[in-house]
């Protein structure tokens, strides 16, 4: 296990929201902006620092969220894709943190207990990447990556993020089984589906 106080959370929120048709990070969901859900969860484990990578719509986002102690950095070329935001996030980290936990700003269902599970899934630098495996399927985010594997982040390309890295280096990966799912919100229909699901759950 690696401790939260020795880990930095990096929240990637620099995208253009082109499929959403507006500033996705600020879209309201259950009374809070979409990105606010992710930031509020990232604040729970007690990370050494929470770094938020902004790009498109950065001024608007900065002006409308409820910030705590997050450090906000800007991707100077967000059009280069998710991989460029990853590099910006890693490049701003100093020598102290032993690991980074990468969260996507458009996954508002991410849970604090999941972040704790990922921290607890780290056992050794021989397998320095920890990812969730959701019972309901879906992508393997968020992701914990120990410092020894950070150079792999620089192999990420365009909007693929670390997914291909995880696939191509399976021997370095620990999978943690978790309930449910953690969907992206890419379109207004995705957002509406989350809201409808919540209504059904509440009866």
At 101-155, the pLDDT tens digits run 999 999 999 999 999 999 999 999 999 999 999 999 888 999 999 999 999 888 8
Q: Which residues contact 151 (CB under 8 A, 6 or more apart)?
A: none
Q: Which residues contact 16 (CB under 8 A, 6 or more apart)?
A: 55, 56, 57, 78, 79
Q: pTM, whole model, 2 decimals?
A: 0.95
Q: Name which of 136, 122, 113 is nearest 174 in CA terms.
A: 122
pLDDT at 199 over 80: no
pLDDT band for 159, please (50, 70, 90 cuts): confident
For residue 181, count CB atoms less than 10 angstroms from its CB and return exposed for 0-12, middle for 13-18, buried for 19 or more. Answer: middle
CB 76 within 8 A of CB 36: no
pLDDT value of residue 203? 44
- Average pLDDT, whole number, for the chain? 93
Q: Indicate the CATH number of 4-201 among 3.90.550.10, 3.40.50.300, 3.30.2130.10, 3.40.50.2000.
A: 3.90.550.10
CB 61 within 8 A of CB 23: yes
Where are the domains positioned within the chain? 4-201
Q: Name which of 92, 77, 104 is nearest 8 in CA terms.
A: 92
Number of C-beta neighbours around residue 193 at 10 A = 13
pLDDT at 99 over 90: yes
pLDDT value of residue 25? 97
pLDDT per position as a tens digit, 36-64: 999 999 999 999 999 999 999 999 999 99
């Amino acid at each position: 296990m690696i401790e939260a106080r020795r880990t930095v959370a990096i929240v990637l929120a620099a995208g253009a929201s082109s499929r959403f048709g507006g500033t996705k990070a600020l879209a309201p969901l259950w009374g809070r902006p979409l990105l606010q859900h992710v930031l509020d969860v990232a604040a729970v484990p007690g990370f050494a620092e929470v770094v938020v990578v902004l790009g498109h719509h950065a001024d608007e986002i900065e002006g409308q969220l409820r910030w705590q102690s997050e450090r906000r950095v800007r991707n100077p070329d967000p059009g280069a894709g998710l991989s460029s935001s990853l590099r910006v996030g890693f490049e701003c980290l100093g020598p102290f943190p032993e690991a980074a936990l990468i969260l996507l700003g458009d996954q508002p269902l991410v849970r604090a207990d999941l972040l704790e599970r990922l921290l607890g899934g780290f056992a050794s630098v021989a397998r320095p990447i920890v990812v969730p495996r959701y019972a309901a399927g879906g992508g393997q985010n968020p992701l914990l990556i120990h410092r020894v594997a950070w150079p792999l982040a620089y192999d990420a390309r365009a909007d693929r993020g670390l997914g291909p890295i995880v696939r191509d280096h399976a021997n370095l990966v620990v999978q943690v089984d978790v309930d449910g799912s953690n969907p992206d919100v890419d379109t207004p229909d995705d957002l509406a589906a989350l809201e409808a699901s919540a209504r059904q759950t509440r009866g």
